[in-house]
Amino acid sequence: MRQRRLAPGPLLDDDGRLAEAGWSTSEVRTYDRQRVAASRFRIKEWDYHCVLSDGEDGPFGIALTIADNGYVGLLGVSVLDLAGRSETTENALVPFPLGRMRLPYTADGGDVVVHHGGLRIEYHHDGQARRLVVDHPRFGGGRGLSGELVLTQPSDDRMVIATPFPRAPKAFYYNQKINCLPAQGTVTVGGRELVFDPATAFGVFDWGRGVWTYDNTWYWGSASGIHEGVRFGFNIGHGFGDTTAASENMLFHDGVAHKLDRVHFHLPRDTYDGAPWRFTSNDERFEMEFEPILDRAADVNALLVRSTQHQVFGRFTGSVVLDDGTRLEIENLLGFAEEVRNRW
């Protein structure tokens, strides 16, 4: 596949259509909600953070979601006890936000503060760091959850992709994945403190803006950590839109991106977490086995909007090849892989 690098400029043209499809390692295309040609009910905007710790106390993590999907918004919190193979996820649905959540037009600035149904989530962009604040007194049947994390963001490469949808000229997806963000802070759940140490805890930030067709299934995988003393991670995925111009598959090594072609997800039959997953790439630069620990399964049903999710957390073992031909042997890297079907 011949992949296309994005040039600087507006994301959408004067008719509200994607000006250029392709990929980049920085936010070179400018998103402007006012240029979108589709109805406000069809615009999808979200900021998702997942932070995983792999220290001496065993693996654990937290995921936070703020999503404005036009006719319904969502605030989501997941606490992941990977050592105990359990998780608690709670969502608050916001009817017809239609842009009122005021998610930033850029991944590199702006704050978001949303409070609904007793759940408050805040994202603050402080230059070279992202500060995440959560407070949910009713979490876990009244156990309560509160905390603050700071994700340091070095001046690293990231995965940026602009994707059109076949036969839907007003549809597009502009996505950024920022991996390998060292995380520091404490989240308290029912009196138990989860302490995130930047030496062993890393976050990924998923920033998405677009107009989607109604029914899509996507596959996404992500991991961040340390390999031989250097920050290493990856983003892999496929399943929606016209990816002729670019795939979203990318390695990150010491802050530098290494672009991959196609990565194939080989899921086990009739199970998500009862057998290993396997990943291969057509350029033979990504070969991984994935040992599941926990399937965070969810089915969010809001009539017009339904999201059936299997986000499986586990460990990746295998090999990758950097752009210069260097082969890295990866062992037990904590991350996740998912299959999600959205009707929205």
Spatial distance between the Cα atoms of 49 and 247, rounded to a whole number of angstroms: 21
CB-neighbour burial class of residue 238 (10 A; exposed 0-12, middle 13-18, buried 19+): middle
- Pairwise CA distance, residues 215 & 76, whole Å: 21
Q: Measured between alpha carbons, how far is 131 from 183 in angstroms, rounded to an integer?
A: 10
Q: Write down the pLDDT at residue 1.
A: 55
Torsion of CA 52, 54, 55, 61, to 10 degrees: 30
What is the predicted pLDDT for the residue at 304? Answer: 73
Taking the model in full, what pTM does it have? Answer: 0.96
Burial of 33 (0-12, 13-18, 19+ CB in 10 A): middle
How confident is the model at residue 299, as a pLDDT? 87
Helix (H/G/I), strand (E/B), else coil: 226: strand
CA angle 284, 288, 293 (to 5 degrees): 165
Residues of the chain with pLDDT under 50: none
User: Strand 327-343's sheet: what is its strand order?
Assistant: 256-259, 250-253, 230-238, 215-227, 327-343, 305-321, 286-302, 277-281, 263-266
